[in-house]
A and B are shown apart, each in its own frame.
Chain A
Amino acid sequence: MRYLRAEKDPDSIPERPLFGDETRFAAGRIAVFQYVIVAVFIYLLLGYWDLQVLNQEFYSEKAEQNQIKSLPILAPRGKILDRDGRVIVDNHESYRLILSRDSLRPAHLRPIALGLNMEPAELEAKVRRYQNQPTWFAIPLKEELSPDELAFVEAFRGQNGFPELELIRSQYRVYPKGGLAAHLLGYVGEISDAELNSPEWAHHNPGDLIGKAGVERYYNDLLSGVDGQRQVRVDNRMNTREVLGVKDAIPGRNLRLTIDLDLQVVAELAMEGKRGAVVALDPRTGEVLALVSRPAFDPNRFASRISAREFNELIQDPYRPLFNRALQAQLAPGSTFKPILALAALESGAIDDSFTVHCTGGATWYGRYFKCHRRGGHGTVNLKTAIAQSCDVFFYAVGNRVGIDTIAEYAEMVGLGARTGIDLPGEKEGVVPSSKWKIRTQREKWYAGETISVAIGQGALTVTPIQLAYAIGGIANGGVFMRPHLVRQEKTEPPARIAGFRPENVRKVVDGMCAVVNGWGTAAASRIPDIEMCGKTGTAQLASNDLLRLKNHEDWHDNAWFVGFAPGTNPEIVVAVLWENGAHGDMAAPIARDVIKAYFDKKARMKKLAQPPASLASAWLVPPALDREKR
């Protein structure tokens, strides 16, 4: 009843009797409830026992993985220098944005892509590509952030923003402006999926920048160095709390090329606005002094992850700017082949000094009339005049005497029809036709009439500019062929091949080539006073003259060739020039002349100066980019 007594207002409580207000009836149920309590505690303890006692190691490891991150330290790529030590390809420092995958939230991808001026779909595809990599492996998002992108990253990085965003210092390639030496240098780019799966790049990781072409590719392992790592303890916002260990990056090695920037610039200038290639070699060593291919591209566009659209533009350009004509253009050499045929004729004994031909402007061979390029004819010509005047009728006769298989034998002896072995990727072989070659490739017999075409460097015969420079340089060097190379060797390279030509035969061919420039030859206009430049013009037909008259299009004009060297004895430089659709070989000769003149001018200057002069090329070299504001 004290229940009621406690109440001030009796109306608010029920007026029922206190029957049954004792707790004994529930004692059983309370006992049951105690078992429930015990069951709950057992359930909970089993849970903690499972995690803490049975699986402690598993979860401890997880906790370690949570807090310990490896961040890459990018190795700076080696610089590329010219033969005088002038910097051609430099690095500049910038920031690289990476996406940390263990803190990645899919919902963040879209805003991140928009903030970085990327396509959300592109970013999602990128993230998918990394699915099979371990999660501590970060995704490189963007290089060389623009100021507004940098501001976006700074504003949203870490706390309450996108903790997956991370900035790393890195270095970028700076190439010369205007595509100077673009094909020779190549460019770097992010490793592609296909490359990742190939054994050549097996030691690389997704996102690595690798050399994609030229020297950058051929000497990639030397230039790239080895990335380092920084192990840090981080919190859930990816803020570094403690640095646990640092493995320094091994910087890439600087690469000194044999290229002479001065000559390279002269050659580039001479080729400005043209299509073609220039290759300058030192025939004594095989060192490449200049290597130009035009049209060129700007490798700087590749330096910071070129967009697919830009890349497609380059690929689809009908003049193929990515194509390295110096190594890859396989074209008929035209009359530049004549000195090689002349040497083959002398060496094989097919002709001797007394051999002459009377040129009336054409001759009939095997039922077909072959014209000489001079309509009126050259009259009676000997070997020297025939080379100097590039008499076609003379070489028809010589070719016919030598025969296709001997021509092929000597052409291969001077290095045609095979790669020269230059230290650049993608070199082509060209074609040296022979009767065996024809049966092998076309299952057809060789017709003697075809030999007549090959004799003047037409027909199936094709060469690359570097092959031509290598071949003529080797002949001028007395039959000692040095493998062309771009990287200076510690010790002199053994010659690729010693052909063992008789010196007097070589002399006769060289004399003919000297007459081309210094006598009344086809390139007399390119004579350099005081320098004995020798050479040979070539005009290779692409279409018949009849067709040209009918439908004159610039792209069908003859290819102009010139291959020249100087001086006549013990030559120091050999230059091959290809000017596509340049119409005539004497148009290509001045380009070679400029390069050769620049070589000897510089040599003369160097005698006076102890120091190498400031490079002409300085106008092409980009000034070191302003360091971005330090964070």
Chain B
Amino acid sequence: MAVYRSVRNLDWALILVAVALAGLGILQIYSATIDTAWRGAWWKQGVYLCAGFFLMWLMTRIDYHTLLGQVPALYMISLGLLVLTPLVGGYVWGSKRWIPLGFGFKFQPSEFVKLVIVLLVARYVSELRSDRLDVRDLVKLGLLVGIPGGLVAAQPDLGTSLTYLPVLLAGLFFGGMRWQHAALILVAGALLMPVGWFMLKDYQKARLETFLDPMKDPMGKGYQVIQSKIAVGAGGIWGRGVTRGSQTQLRFLPVAHTDFLISAFAEEHGFVGILVVFGLYFLLLMQIVQNAQAAPDRAGMLICMGICSLLLFHLLVNAGMAAGRMPVTGIPLPLMSYGGSSMLSVFMMLGLVNNVRLRRFAA
């Protein structure tokens, strides 16, 4: 048994791809911040990478079944942290998302709640022991995910709360949701859309309006999208070279080291660079899917597919936003965007995937 859990049995292809993406990210953070107050961000990101590596290893050590067993406790802790965040956190860019830890470090609970959501969904669905989900399970699971999601949305951080949705959907999909139910939810969602519009905050409405027509207010709300598209387009096929992108270097591109890192990368490395990055992401996701297929039980499969759909959602929304194909939300690009919490949580997810992989012949 121990043989199968040795370091050799980790998914090295997956890890290599992840490290390559993080490395490209660090390079791009270096280039985008070389002339700004964020100058030192690239090595900090390196530190986060190492920390993430350690956490990933840690996540492979504890059997995921043990973690599944602790889901109720983890869930309650998550809710507690999310309730605590607005009480102790300060406003950063208009919302309270962080808990200060001292020494200049801060902790974003909503990032780690993602892991808990993945485990929660996996456990709930796998425990049903059925190939069919009935409506009661749908509602129950929806509520279990909806409560922390609502708390995060109230910070307000609609973007992060939306990332819980693909995990839920993946759980329902792979847990055997009936097509009729899926269709019903879609119809209900479409009907509720006008209601949801009124519940959105003004800035969120503005973002959606801007997505539909960025030229409506080119110097205001449409600025980010327009500048990002210019950066991407100006990169061309071969890119303008590291530290040579005028949009990035002259700071026309907003937050070029975090949310719009892919635009900066696209400007400096061109379509070829984008092909490389997307290729790596594709390998990453397919590797996770492969691990899901090899999972020893439903819980493992659901963990892998939850993580896979979550990362896919991140990629779609972030990279799509940079190209003007998605509305602007503050969702980081996994592994590449600057940010400790995101980096650590992604590596912990990869740890979970490896955890499942190491136990694939156990059943």
Q: Which residues of A contact B (CB under 8 A)?
A: 2-3, 6-7, 9, 12-14, 16-23, 25-27, 29-30, 33-34, 36-37, 40-41, 43-45, 47-53, 55-56, 58-60, 62-64, 66-67, 103-107, 233-237, 241
Contact = CB atoms under 8 A, between A and B. Distances in A.
A53 B271 CA distance: 7
15 contacts: A18-B129, A21-B126, A22-B298, A26-B174, A41-B281, A43-B316, A44-B315, A52-B274, A53-B237, A62-B234, A66-B252, A104-B219, A105-B219, A106-B220, A241-B250
Interface of B: 63, 65-66, 68-69, 72, 126-127, 129-131, 170, 173-174, 176, 219-220, 227, 229-237, 246-247, 250-252, 266, 270-271, 274-275, 278, 281-282, 285-286, 289, 292-293, 295, 297-301, 305, 308-309, 312, 315-316, 319-320, 323-325, 362-363
Contact of B127 (A9, A16, A45, A64): A16
Nearest to B301: A23
Residue among B65, B312, B323 with the highest chain A CB neighbour number at 10 A: B323
B66 A7 contact: yes
B250 A34 contact: no
B69 A236 contact: no
A311 B237 CA distance: 59
Contacts of B63: 6
Contact of A51 (B174, B301, B323): B323
Nearest to A27: B293
B5 to A, nearest CB: 13
A23 B125 CA distance: 12
Contact of A63 (B247, B278, B298): B247
Nearest to B69: A7
Contact of A30 (B237, B275, B305, B316): B305
A66 B250 contact: yes
A104 B275 CA distance: 36
Given A6-B65, A60-B236, A107-B220, 13 more contacts: A3-B297, A7-B65, A25-B176, A30-B289, A30-B293, A30-B305, A47-B323, A49-B271, A51-B229, A56-B235, A59-B232, A236-B251, A236-B252
A362 B170 CA distance: 121
Given A25-B176, A41-B278, A66-B246, A52 B129 contact: no
A48 B246 contact: no
Nearest to A38: B282
A183 to B, nearest CB: 46
B236 A52 contact: yes
- State the majority secondary structure of interface residues on B: helix
A26 B292 CA distance: 10
B252 A48 contact: no
B296 to A, nearest CB: 8
A52 B305 CA distance: 32
Contacts of B281: 41
Contact of A43 (B174, B230, B252, B325): B325
Contacts of B299: 3
Contacts of B227: 66
Nearest to A60: B234
Contacts of B295: 23
A66 B293 contact: no
Contacts of B275: 45
B315 A67 contact: no
A53 B238 CA distance: 10
A22 B316 contact: no
Q: Which 10 A-B pairs have the closest CB atoms?
A: A59-B233, A47-B323, A63-B234, A235-B250, A56-B236, A51-B233, A52-B271, A6-B65, A23-B301, A47-B325
A64 B229 CA distance: 14
Contacts of A21: 126, 129, 297-298
Contacts of A47: 319-320, 323-325
A58 B233 CA distance: 8
B313 to A, nearest CB: 9
Contact of B230 (A30, A66, A233, A234): A66
B219 A2 contact: no
A56 B66 CA distance: 52
A62 B174 CA distance: 46
Contacts of B266: 48, 51-52
